[in-house]
Structure 1
Amino acid sequence: MHAQMLTLGPLVLPWAGLLALLAWLSGSTLHDRLLRRAGLPPGPHAWALALAVLAAARLAFVLRYAGDYAAAPWTALDIRDGGWAPIWGWAAGAVYAGVLWLRRRPARRAVAAGLAAGACLWLAGQLALRLAQPRTPITLPDWQGVALDARSVRLSDLQGRPLVVNLWASWCPPCRREMPVLRQAQQQHPQVRFLWVDQGEAPEVVLAFARAQGLPEADVLLDVRSELGQRLGHRALPTTLFFGADARLAAVRSGELSAATLAEHLARIRPPPLSGQLPKQ
């Protein structure tokens, strides 16, 4: 089991999303049972509470990274980028339950119990995922690829500078959509090295796509046998891995990145002090 993803054959699912679904199912089931015991109809609270939690979690994230959404505000509605602030979502749920309690609504006890059950399951799941993380830090693997400019690049030699490794393929729609975001981030963060490692495609296909996207040929690597993704335990595309200057894996994003979620993950890798010259690409 990977600490962040559940792999079922060709299907790869994020544990965070599954935990949120299980938390809602457990909370809503308890809520409905308590209402039936009290002789009350289920009512809309289970759905309304879930919507309040999700809306608050998304809104808090969007407000935190408002500058990244400013150029295209409508993209804030695209939740495929995985941008959430869970603590604020649960806080909104507590406010919802608190209002029902202050108004002495008949469903207040059931709502509070359902919210507590969902929150406890979610917290327990988060703790389990944290404990499932490997005790030995994951570091840059000793893997070597050939860039489109015909130079060999060995990942283990890149220690000393923050590194972003994007696993992608040209046939993957979310990979194509996030390319401009990654390219812009590369231009905005010269202290961070960005590498695009194509998984399993022919060199001529990768070269044509990279030139169309304006990707630097020195930063686009070929992985014809998809070895790197298998070695790191990430088969889903796109997957972006964030390594600190100490070569340790600091964060992983499986799925499409937006400018905001990319900024969130980049914040986890601290660039070295800007003294002297930066390493050459």
Structure 2
Amino acid sequence: MVFVVQFRDQYFAAETPAFAMVDIRDRGFEPVAFLAVMALGLGHMLLREGAVRKPLIIMVTIALLWVGTGFSVFKYTHDTPEVWPQFSFNDLTGKSLPLRSDLANITVVNLWATWCPTCRAEMPVFEQAQQTYPHVRFVMLNQGESRADVVRFLEAEEYQFDNVWLDPDAKMGRWLGQTAVPVTLVFGLDGELLTGHTGVMSAATLSRLLSSESSSDLLN
């Protein structure tokens, strides 16, 4: 609820479907508020429910150890790249383009595929974002499909994107160490990876990504 209030302009926009506020796939939540509510709930149970106090403490301790260990192992075994790789990709006209072919302050790259339902769900968000954020370059980087398949999909759905690039070998996903789609990456002018998001993108979540400290500094 806190996240919805923070980004109410996006959630109550005319083009945003009504169910977006309860669609948890975009992982739109405010972690501080979530932890505060959880702490209050646990504190209430510890004070009021004496019979469950010891089992609850044990369960919470195990959960924290499990989450902390899992996160540490993941971070140790998955090095997140820090800068854009020296790749070039073809657009739908066959022109080869590197990231730095456009001196935009920020480039948002969305890894997607036509067969991916989640990717399809977020397409209207990125189409609208091109008008909402005119100083940001949005690149729709298709993973593992042919030009014909991509064009057929875009024409059938009547989407209009300024930058649709092709990555038939999915080398961008391999570079990232991420084979699943969709993935959204935010790069700065120098190619630095500023932030990212895995899973469906809502207008509110995109706004949060672009309003993060590292991103907003470049937009101002």
TM-score (norm 1): 0.66
- State the alpha-carbon separation in 2 of the partners of residues 64 and 79 from structure 1: 16
Structure 1 pair 80–273 and aligned structure 2 pair: CA distance change class (3 A)? closer
Alignment partner of 1:184 is 2:128: yes
CA-to-aligned-CA distance 1:84-124 (integer Å, 9 cap, x gap): 33332232222122223443643234334433443454355
- Matched residue, 2:183: 239
Judge conservation of contact 1:140–1:156 (CA < 8 Å) in 2.
Answer: no
Alignment partner of 1:68 is 2:14: no
- Comparing 156-165 with 174-183, greater Cα deviation is found at 156-165
- Matched residue, 2:106: 162
- Matched residue, 1:230: 174
RMSD between aligned residues: 2.7
Judge conservation of contact 2:106–2:219 (CA < 8 Å) in 1.
Answer: no
- State the alpha-carbon separation in 1 of the partners of residues 92 and 112 from structure 2: 15
- Measured after TM superposition, the shift of residue 164 of structure 1 is 0.6
Structure 1 pair 169–227 and aligned structure 2 pair: CA distance change class (3 A)? same
- Measured after TM superposition, the shift of residue 139 of structure 1 is 1.0
- State the alpha-carbon separation in 1 of the partners of residues 149 and 90 from structure 2: 15
Structure 1 pair 130–60 and aligned structure 2 pair: CA distance change class (3 A)? farther
Structure 1 pair 208–250 and aligned structure 2 pair: CA distance change class (3 A)? same
- State the alpha-carbon separation in 1 of the partners of residues 103 and 176 from structure 2: 17
Instruction: Identify the match of residue 203 of structure 2 among 259, 277, 280.
Output: 259
- Matched residue, 1:16: none
Structure 1 pair 171–104 and aligned structure 2 pair: CA distance change class (3 A)? closer
Structure 2 residues not aligned, in runs of 5+: none
- State the alpha-carbon separation in 1 of the partners of residues 98 and 69 from structure 2: 39
Judge conservation of contact 1:169–1:198 (CA < 8 Å) in 2.
Answer: yes
- Matched residue, 2:55: 110
Q: How does 1:184-203 map to 2 (within 5 A)?
A: 184-203=128-147
Structure 1 pair 67–235 and aligned structure 2 pair: CA distance change class (3 A)? same
- Measured after TM superposition, the shift of residue 271 of structure 1 is 5.6
Structure 1 pair 124–63 and aligned structure 2 pair: CA distance change class (3 A)? farther
Judge conservation of contact 1:69–1:260 (CA < 8 Å) in 2.
Answer: yes
Q: How does 1:1-281 map to 2 (within 5 A)?
A: 59-71=1-13, 72-103=17-48, 105-119=50-64, 121-123=66-68, 125-126=70-71, 134=79, 138-158=82-102, 161-211=105-155, 212-216=157-161, 218-268=162-212, 269-270=215-216, 272=218
Fraction of identical pairs, as percent: 33
- Measured after TM superposition, the shift of residue 188 of structure 1 is 0.4
Give the SS at the match of 2:114.
coil
- Matched residue, 1:278: none
Question: Bigger radius of gyration, 1 or 2?
Answer: 1
- Matched residue, 1:36: none
- State the alpha-carbon separation in 2 of the partners of residues 83 and 98 from structure 1: 25
TM-score (norm 2): 0.82
- State the alpha-carbon separation in 2 of the partners of residues 152 and 65 from structure 1: 37
- State the alpha-carbon separation in 2 of the partners of residues 171 and 76 from structure 1: 25
Judge conservation of contact 1:244–1:270 (CA < 8 Å) in 2.
Answer: no
- State the alpha-carbon separation in 2 of the partners of residues 124 and 67 from structure 1: 38
